[in-house]
Amino acid sequence: MNDTLKKIKSGIDLSIVIPIYNERESIEKLYKKLDEALSRINLKYEVLLIDDGSVDDTFNELLKVHRRNKLFKIIRFRKNFGQTSAISAGFSYAEGEVVVTLDADLQNDPRDIPVLLEKLNEGYDIVSGWRRNRKDKAVTRRFPSIIANKIISKLTGVHLHDYGCTLKVYKKEVVKNINLYGEMHRYIPAIASGIGVKVAEVPVMHHSRRYGKSKYGVSRTIKVILDIITLKFLLSYSQSPIQIFGLVGLFSGAVGFIMTSYLIIMRLFFNQSLADRPLFILSIFMIFIGVQLITIGLLAEVLIRVYHKVQNRSTYVIKDIIS
Q: Which residues, in sequence order, are CB contacts of 210 under 8 Å at separation 6+? A: 26, 106
- Asked if residue 219 and residue 247 are part of one domain, the reply reads no
| 312 DSSP 8-state letter | P
Residue 59 lies in a domain: yes
- Three-state DSSP state, 203: strand
- Asked if residue 148 and residue 231 are part of one domain, the reply reads yes
CB-based contact 225:153 (threshold 8 Å): no
Range of the domain at 108: 14-235
Whole-angstrom distance, CA of residue 84 vs CA of residue 264: 54
Cα radius of gyration (the chain): 25
Q: Domain boundary residue among 235, 259, 294?
A: 235
Number of domains the chain contains: 2
Whole-angstrom distance, CA of residue 279 vs CA of residue 263: 8
pLDDT tens column, 6-65: 444 448 999 999 999 999 999 999 999 999 999 888 899 999 999 999 999 999 999 999
Residue 320 lies in a domain: no
Segment (H or E) for 61: helix 58-68
Segment (H or E) for 280: helix 278-309
Closest-CA residue to 148 (of 218, 221, 84): 221
CB-based contact 193:128 (threshold 8 Å): no
Closest-CA residue to 158 (of 188, 193, 123): 193
Rounded to 5°, the CA angle 99-102-107 comes to: 160
- Asked if residue 304 and residue 187 are part of one domain, the reply reads no
Going by their DSSP bridges, the two strands 72-77 and 45-51 should be labelled as parallel
pLDDT tens column, 76-108: 999 999 898 999 999 999 999 999 999 998 889
- Three-state DSSP state, 304: helix
- Count of other CB atoms within 10 angstroms of residue 248: 16
Q: Domain boundary residue among 217, 235, 253?
A: 235
Closest-CA residue to 101 (of 186, 216, 192, 220): 186
CA distances from 267 to 81, 278, 288 (A): 60, 14, 21
Residue 322 lies in a domain: no
Residue 162 lies in a domain: yes
Residue 317 lies in a domain: no
| 142 DSSP 8-state letter | I
Terminal Cα distance for the chain, rounded: 27
pLDDT on residue 300: 82
- Answering whether pTM is above 0.85, one says no
At 78, which CATH number? 3.90.550.10
Give me the residues of the chain with pLDDT under 70, please: 1-10, 136-141, 211-221, 305, 307-317
pLDDT on residue 200: 94
